[in-house]
Amino acid sequence: MDIHFPIFRFLRAFLRIVVPSWFSFLPIPTAIRPSAVRISSFSPL
């Protein structure tokens, strides 16, 4: 857990930065959203 936790922290920060800019720039996330929901539903987190 000590090894993985910083990685999750980094991913969280990365998503916080990338996702808003992604939504503001592209209409594509509306098409990607179902696959993202699928991935999040499969992930154990």
For 10, 24, 27, 30, the CA distances from 42, given in Å and listed in that order, are 21, 27, 25, 19
Q: What is the pLDDT of residues 1-45, one digit of tens each?
A: 566 678 888 888 888 887 777 666 666 555 555 555 565 555 554
Q: Which two tokens stand for residue 34?
A: 């179902």
Question: What pLDDT score was predicted for residue 12?
Answer: 86
The whole-number pLDDT of residue 21 equals 72
Distance (Å, whole) CA 23 – CA 31 = 11
The helix/strand/coil state of 27 is coil
> Could you write out the DSSP letters of every residue in 9-21?
HHHHHHHHHHHHH
> pTM for this one?
0.34
